[in-house]
Amino acid sequence: MIRFTHVSKSYPRTGTAVDDVSLHIGKGEFVFFTGPSGAGKTTLLKMVYMEERPTSGEVKVSGTSSITAKDREVAKIRRKLGIVFQDFRLLDNRTAEQNVAFALEVTGAPQALIGSKVARALTQVGLSGKGTAYPRELSGGEQQRVAIARALVNDPFLLIADEPTGNLDDRATRGIFQLLREINAGGTAVMMATHNLELIRRQEFRTIEMNRGAVVFDSAEQVAKPVRDI
């Protein structure tokens, strides 16, 4: 589903961000990415949604290659991905509902479908009663739930979460993590970058540790766990 083949990424000013990474993530997998700041986690995730393209090597996402993909194909691929960030990235002047609907509107979804899809996504993240609230009226955890609802509303095959709990207290962190597990249980793969080792330690999910752009540990290789693929 997602395959990195000898992927390196370097920037003219800051040097190498990702250094010769090869890995494969199968359908419906839940994968943690950990490592110190600047280890290359965010760059790695950016290459999945093709915000960045590798300097060398190839990233393949559901058959689309980073080498050949045109802007249009990138847009198309992103409609099948859900992306969540530490800072939520919600539009302040829109309600929770409108924020979620935004993802459908700008991809040309039929107007008639939007209402029901938005309601379903908000219910899924446990915010069915807060659709008309503006982001400033919601707690951090709730705002992240709105962002996740927006990521889910297009029925993605993969949810990318870059430090989704970085701005949240423990309670909210646990809630968000529980939600991501539920989403994963529904068949959506999850790639999550996090600093929160506490969170990882308690889980049996595949963990990939990065340092200075390279993969230094991959639990899938340690434990001979077969990777499901299609």
Partner 1 sequence: MRSLRDALITFRRTPLLSALSITTIAFSLFAFGLFGLVALNIREALERIEDRVEIRAFVADGTAPELIVQAAGDIANYPEVLGTKTVSQDEALVRAKKELGDFRDVFEGAVLPASIDVRLKPGFRDPATVKRVSARVKAFSFVDDIRYGEEWIEKLYRLRNIAGIAGIVLGLAFAGVSVIIIGATIRMAVLSRAKEIAIMRLVGATDAYIRRPFLIEGIAKGVLGGLLALLLTYVARTIIDRYLIQTIFFDTKIALLGLLFGALIGLVGSAFSVGRHLRHV
Sites of contact with partner 1 (CB under 8 A): 49, 71-72, 75-81, 83, 89, 91, 102-103, 105-108, 150, 154
Supply the minimum distance, in Å, between the C-beta of residue 225 and partner 1.
Answer: 31
- The two beta strands, 15-25 and 2-11, are antiparallel
Cα three-residue angle 197-43-86, rounded to 5 degrees: 55
Decide whether 77 or 176 has the Cβ nearer to partner 1.
77
Supply the minimum distance, in Å, between the C-beta of residue 107 and partner 1.
Answer: 5
Question: Which residue is listed with tokens 């600047």?
Answer: 38
Decide whether 130 or 150 has the Cβ nearer to partner 1.
150
In contact, 2 and 61? CB cutoff 8 Å: yes
Decide whether 22 or 93 has the Cβ nearer to partner 1.
93
Supply the minimum distance, in Å, between the C-beta of residue 19 and partner 1.
Answer: 25
Return d(Cα 153, Cα 102) in angstroms, integer.
10
CB atoms within 10 A of CB 120: 15
Q: Could you please report the per-residue DSSP string of 165-204?
A: TTTS-HHHHHHHHHHHHHHHHTT-EEEEE-S-HHHHHT--
Decide whether 145 or 206 has the Cβ nearer to partner 1.
145
Supply the minimum distance, in Å, between the C-beta of residue 75 and partner 1.
Answer: 5
Supply the minimum distance, in Å, between the C-beta of residue 68 and partner 1.
Answer: 17
Decide whether 59 or 103 has the Cβ nearer to partner 1.
103
Supply the minimum distance, in Å, between the C-beta of residue 81 and partner 1.
Answer: 8
Decide whether 105 or 198 has the Cβ nearer to partner 1.
105
Tell me the one-letter amino acid at 189.
A
Question: Which DSSP symbol is given to 155?
Answer: -
Beta bridge mates, 32: 192, 207
